[in-house]
Structure 1
Amino acid sequence: MPGGFPTTNALASLRGTWSGFITWVFCSFSFGFFCGGIGHFVVSEFFLSITPPYVPWPLAVVYVSGVLEILGAIGILLPQARQLAGNCLILLTLAVTPANIHMSLNPELYPFATEWQLNLRLVIQVLLLVCIWWSTRDRRWV
């Protein structure tokens, strides 16, 4: 009905579009965390190079965080585990924040990145936390 309230079919179509978007978000986050987790094993030297010197057992920390990212990626795809996976990924993201702060405060130790790129990592990390939270909450209307 032009100029009036949406019809039931229009609302159903909108709900379907929203549901498709949410599914895309879940799959994108899952893929990103899965690839990141695999990266901890494939290019562990890189992750070791950005681990602050005060972290004990750095290689073990790199491997454990990789496993946790992979498990979180799988959990995001399972509706019954999604919120728990999101909570765990938020905790993991917070746990690696000191490494990103260390990189930002010591740019001379990381010649592969510019200072603004290192600072941008912190901004991206905050956005990532918000996105993880938003995308893994229970949505009865989706």
Structure 2
Amino acid sequence: MSRRSQILAAGLAASLAAAGTLHLVRPRVFEGLIPAALGSPRAWVYGSGVAELACATAVAVPATRQVGGVATAVLFVAVFPGNVKMALDSHPGARSWARNPAVAWGRLPLQVPLVAWALQVARGSQPAG
């Protein structure tokens, strides 16, 4: 595995670990992203935090990096509807992240490079040949 691949994997693992930890430590910040139809927002926030930590661990370990990269890409796609909800609900008086519409809407296209990053980590973990 190249040095660049290792750096990309370490950066992705660190980002996922930070996000997962934030979901568990400050769940209220993320609760507004969960559609009411899904039930308890806290359960979904905790679940996504645990999923991010699991993906971080899988990406950090070379033996599981390929599956971890793919799982991370799937996770990034799965949380996209929450980001859309945040953007649709955004206004200056909103709770937490949805307070700034420019930030809320600006996050949406960022999912594309995040998915690409995860897939690049998965591909970079494959032996050459």
Q: TM-score range by the shorter chain?
A: 0.7 to 0.9
Aligned mate of 1:48, from 1, 17, 31? 31
Q: Which protein shows a greater Rg?
A: 1
Question: Following the alignment from structure 1 to structure 2, what is the Cα–Cα distance between the partners of residues 111 and 72?
Answer: 25
Cα deviations by residue, 1:83-116 (Å, 9 ceiling, x for unpaired): 2112221221111111111111221245754222
Aligned residue identity for 1:128: L
SS at match of 2:37: coil
Which residue of the partner structure matches residue 100 of structure 2?
114
Residue 13 of structure 1 corresponds to which residue in structure 2? none
> Counterpart amino acid of 2:68?
A
Distance 1:26 1:111 in 2: 30
Give 1:140's aligned residue.
Answer: 127
Which structure 2 residue ranges, 5 or more long, are not aligned?
A: none
Poorly superposed stretches of 4+, deviation over 6 Å = none
2:80 to 70, 77, 97: 97
RMSD: 2.0
Kindly indicate whether the alpha-carbon contact (under 8 Å) linking 1:103 and 1:110 is maintained by their aligned counterparts in 2: no
- 1:75-86 equivalence runs, <5 A: 75-86=58-69
CA change 1:111–1:63 in 2 (3 A) is closer
- Is there any run of 5+ residues in structure 1 with no aligned partner, and where? 1-17
Q: Which structure has greater helix proportion? A: 2
Question: Deviation per CA, 1:20-59, whole angstroms, max 9, x where unpaired?
Answer: 2211111111011011111111111101133233322211
